[in-house]
């Protein structure tokens, strides 16, 4: 009776795009709150003060809250069996890539990403377009982990077939004759 070991899928990493994306919205949030606090009460009419508050709140929603929601809506989850990409807030998109299928992992960094240790991970699955994990922090570690997980999850039947095909045979073929 053969014993089979069932490996339980576990989460290796949960990632989001680099938090640097929220720098300018956060700076504008601080400036807006400071400006509204400075100018509130300086107008003679009450409706002008309320309009200042409403305008400040609208500006905060458009400039800080919506980019925060967009940043929170992107998540990359790496497990021992697959890579899961989740995008969207109102309309969610979920894409899964099994490590056992094998794929090509490429890292691309621009100058700013190199300074912060982040980068874009391009995963070529053989489909029309590669899957891109944008601005991932610790990009070199992510690439190494994906390579290790792919190597570990190779299908044993496919590995055995590949080993059998690569073995030398004793037959010699010379110009189509044996």
In a domain, 176, yes or no: no
pLDDT at position 49, please? 95
pLDDT of 177 above 80: no
pLDDT at position 136, please? 95
Model confidence, pTM: 0.75
- 92 and 56, same structural domain? no
pLDDT at position 156, please? 61
pLDDT of 140 above 80: yes
Give per-residue pLDDT as tens, 14-24: 999 999 999 99
H helices of the chain, where?
Answer: 23-39, 46-60, 66-72, 111-116, 139-152, 156-166
- Return all residues near 3 (Cβ < 8 A) that are at least 6 apart: none
- 102 and 29, same structural domain? no
146 vs 9: CA distance, rounded Å: 15
- Domain around 46: 19-71
Q: What is the DSSP letter of 73?
A: T
Give per-residue pLDDT as tens, 100-134: 887 889 999 999 999 999 999 999 987 778 899 99
In a domain, 110, yes or no: yes
Give per-residue pLDDT as tens, 52-86: 999 999 999 999 999 999 999 999 999 999 999 99
24 vs 78: CA distance, rounded Å: 29
In a domain, 112, yes or no: yes
- 84 and 147, same structural domain? yes
> Residue 96 half-sphere exposure, CB side, CA atoms within 13 Å?
6
Q: What is the mean pLDDT of residues 20-45?
A: 96
52 vs 33: CA distance, rounded Å: 11
117 vs 114: CA distance, rounded Å: 5
In a domain, 155, yes or no: yes
- 142 and 65, same structural domain? no
In a domain, 38, yes or no: yes
Q: What is the DSSP letter of 83?
A: E
In a domain, 55, yes or no: yes
- 89 and 145, same structural domain? yes
CA 99 to chain centre: 15
- 38 and 104, same structural domain? no
- 94 and 51, same structural domain? no
pLDDT at position 8, please? 85
* Count of domains observed in the chain: 2
pLDDT of 5 above 80: no
Give me the numbers of helices (H) and strands (E) for the chain, helices first please.
6, 7
In a domain, 5, yes or no: no
pLDDT of 89 above 90: no
- Return all residues near 126 (Cβ < 8 A) that are at least 6 apart: 103
- 89 and 138, same structural domain? yes
Distances in Å between the alpha carbon of 148 and those of 9, 140, 154?
15, 12, 10
In a domain, 118, yes or no: yes
- 56 and 114, same structural domain? no
The token pair at 49 is 């003060």
- 127 and 56, same structural domain? no
pLDDT of 90 above 90: no
pLDDT of 26 above 70: yes
């Amino acid at each position: 009776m053969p014993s089979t070991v069932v490996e339980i899928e576990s989460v290796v990493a949960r990632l989001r795009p680099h938090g640097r994306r929220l720098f300018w919205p956060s700076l504008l949030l601080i400036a807006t709150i400071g400006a509204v606090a400075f100018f509130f009460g300086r107008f003679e009419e009450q409706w002008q003060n309320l309009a200042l508050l409403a305008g400040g709140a609208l500006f905060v929603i458009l400039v800080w809250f919506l980019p925060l929601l967009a940043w929170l809506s992107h998540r990359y989850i790496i497990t021992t069996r697959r890579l899961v990409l989740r995008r969207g807030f109102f309309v969610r998109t979920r894409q899964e890539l099994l490590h056992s299928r094998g794929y090509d992992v490429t890292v691309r960094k621009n100058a700013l990403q190199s300074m912060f240790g982040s980068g874009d991970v391009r995963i070529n699955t053989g489909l029309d377009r590669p899957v891109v994990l944008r601005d991932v922090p610790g990009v070199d570690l992510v690439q190494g982990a994906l390579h290790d997980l792919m190597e570990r999850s190779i299908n044993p039947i496919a590995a055995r077939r590949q080993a059998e095909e690569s073995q030398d045979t004793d037959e010699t073929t010379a110009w189509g004759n044996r």
